[in-house]
Chains A and B, each alone.
Chain A
Amino acid sequence: MDQLSNLTLYATFFFALYFEVFMLVNFFEKRSSLKTEEARTLSVFPSITIIVPVFNEENTVTKTVFSLLKLDYPKDKLKIIIVDDGSTDRTPTVIKRFRSQRRVEIIRKSNGGKYTALNAGLAVTTTDLVGCLDADSFVPPDTLKKIIPYFENEKTMAVTPAIKIHRPDGFIRHVQSNEYNLGIFMKKCFSIIGAITVTPGPFSIFRKSVFDNLGLFREAHNTEDLEIAMRMQKNLYRITNAHTAVVYTTGPATLHQLYRQRVRWIQGFLSNTIDYRSVFFKREYGHLGLFALPAAIISIILFFVSIIMILRNVFNTIGNKIIEIQSVGLRWHWPKFEFDWFFLNTDSKVFLSIVLFSATIILIMYGRKISEKKTGLSIHTLYFPFVYAFLSIIWLSRAVYATAFSKETRWR
């Protein structure tokens, strides 16, 4: 049993480390071309429509739309469609103020879910490019100008941005901030190997022809932004990441909201992956089918097995303590502070943990560096891996359970 638990832990270490090393290898190979990407400027400005689906977002929608109006882009080339998906709060009143804006169109429809709101926007879109922006997010003025050059490559069908948490406050948002920075690095690497599986709601930009050729957004287990990306991959449409194009999202403030969001994401990912399982292990889908998707599934399995092993150890320790208390009773004695290097754990697993931890920190720092050109290490990054692993247990378990027994997710 101990052999088995050791073997599993080593397998997990190897897999996790291999994944991070593979990402770094690909990243460093393409590092010089990232510089050329960043240096590009625009000569032609294609026309674009941004759809903002809103449902009961009276507090945030104004900021979202204002950020779009302030985008550094020719005024006659940028159109904004606000789709009110049957809000029941003051949202309709709040968005009325934009009626005077010539560039803004407001559509009100009865509630049907986010994907129906996006589709309602797409139905009236006439431009070559179309994007969406969730009403809990907003963009700095230069973001669009950093995305559009990627469309100069005719094969590029969609471009995703670098999503960040705006001015993180509180513990839960600091954790997310690091997670998003890690995500920025990962997305860039996935983009390099052509294996992006999500075109997120905050400011992903598509060619309109994607929807003309492949159809509109679908319900897709409440994760329409995952499904469309998978559908594009299935049809060999290229998705690229613009790592300097920053979008700010608010991020859930409480653990409960975060939990809900993550369960929805992971369950959506699992369900959509099952729907698109035909992509697995097919050469024509390249790194996506051969590496990225199988790696995601394997990592979930290994994660659970490791958790079981760790829990077993914890229970053993507790069991031993109980035996001790049974035999000599609960007796307090001062812990001894004699340091002896002999009792220092010098197992190879300890060294592997240190390497894995450092690699994760490095990936987060790179994510921060490529998106906002900032270096330096924050204290929140150092505790992030521990907190995140712990939190992942909770939502991953729930999401896997829910996927297995087809439970419905909720948006909020």
Chain B
Amino acid sequence: MEKPWKNYIYAFFITATIFATAFYLGNYFSDRKIDELRATENRIALDILSAETQFALLGELSCPEAQNSVLSRELDSLGEKLDYSEEKFGAGNPEVVALKKQYSLLEIKDYMLIKKLKDCPKQPITILYFYADDCRDCEKEGHVLTYLREQYPELRVYSFDYNLDLSALKTLAQIYGIGGKFPALVIKNKSYQGFKKVEELEALLPELKIATSTPNVSETKR
């Protein structure tokens, strides 16, 4: 009985080669994405450093310059990409964790700069948002904040993963007494623990509606 047993081996090698190629391609593109994230973070870091230097030189920043140099829009999209990477490459991926730490630092720096812009006519409205693992309400709060950010472009939301091992972040949390219950929000230097609905946040930040004259807000269905 002559049987082509060797074909089992051939087929195995061909299949293994296809698999190796697929893994290679998958890794190649993940690396490219990580590179892109890193490049974006470096660019933002440079912008912030430049703004900080300006501040140190002049003792204060002029409003338009600050609005140009502090780029929370880019921070937003970076945040989205980081979320996506966490989901795709795994939250434990060391590259992703490192990028997330740097991102958190950039957020803190951006927040500090914004706070210095006291006398600008169009003062940015900020929310600090702390979330933790295994927190069902955090998922809901995330949706609420995303929605608010889409509705009110002036709003800047800085989100922090409380479980991230980063001392600057621990200090920030300490300042506002964050630690027990999540989600936790800091609005106008006051901290709020537990889930807050869209309406509750809108009530806490009445200036949102004044700043944004979007007529369709009242039309949105509930």
Contacts and interface: CB of A to CB of B under 8 A. Distances in A.
B189 interface: no
Nearest to B24: A348
A390 interface: no
B205 to A, nearest CB: 16
Nearest to B13: A21
Contacts of A123: none
Contact of A25 (B10, B21, B23, B141): B10
B3 A286 contact: yes
B198 A25 contact: no
Interface string B190-222: 000000011000000000000000000000111
Contacts of B84: 342-343
Contacts of A332: 220-221
Contacts of B122: none
Contacts of A352: 18-19, 22
Given A25-B11, A26-B7, A286 B139 contact: no
Nearest to B12: A18
Contacts of A286: 1, 3
A17 B26 contact: no
Q: Which of A29, A343, A346 has the most B CB atoms < 10 Å from its CB?
A: A346
Interface residues of A, number: 37
Contacts of A291: 8
Interface string B16-49: 0011011101110110010010000000000000
A29 B143 contact: no
Q: Which of A323, A328, A332, A351 has the most B CB atoms < 10 Å from its CB?
A: A328
B133 interface: no
B150 interface: yes
A401 interface: no
A29 B15 contact: no
B221 A348 contact: no
Contacts of A355: 18, 22
B144 interface: yes
Contact of A333 (B33, B150, B197): B150
Contacts of B170: none
A25 B18 CA distance: 14
A328 B25 CA distance: 38
Interface string B144-171: 1001001000000000000000000000
Contacts of B29: 346
A18 B30 CA distance: 26
Contacts of B12: 18
Nearest to B17: A21
Q: Is the interface of A mostly helix, strand, loop or mixed?
A: helix
B81 interface: yes
A76 interface: no
A217 B214 CA distance: 79
A212 interface: no
A272 to B, nearest CB: 24
Contact of A324 (B22, B88, B143): B143
A351 B25 contact: yes
Interface in A303-351: 320, 323-324, 326-333, 342-343, 345-351
A302 interface: no
Nearest to B77: A340
Contacts of B197: 327
Interface in A259-311: 284, 286-287, 291
A194 B4 CA distance: 11
A342 B36 contact: yes
Contacts of A326: 140
B21 to A, nearest CB: 7
Q: Which of A29, A326, A331 has the most B CB atoms < 10 Å from its CB?
A: A331
Contacts of A333: 150
B58 interface: no
A328 to B, nearest CB: 4
Interface in A1-54: 13-14, 17-18, 21-22, 25-26, 29
Contact of B143 (A327, A346, A350): A327
B57 interface: no
A193 interface: yes
Contact of B147 (A13, A194, A323, A328): A328
A287 B22 contact: no
B139 A329 contact: no
B143 A328 contact: yes
Given A348-B26, A352-B18, 5 more contacts: A327-B197, A331-B147, A345-B88, A347-B88, A350-B26
21 contacts: A17-B15, A22-B11, A26-B7, A193-B3, A193-B4, A194-B3, A327-B139, A327-B140, A327-B143, A327-B198, A328-B143, A328-B147, A329-B222, A331-B147, A332-B221, A342-B33, A343-B81, A348-B27, A349-B26, A352-B22, A355-B22
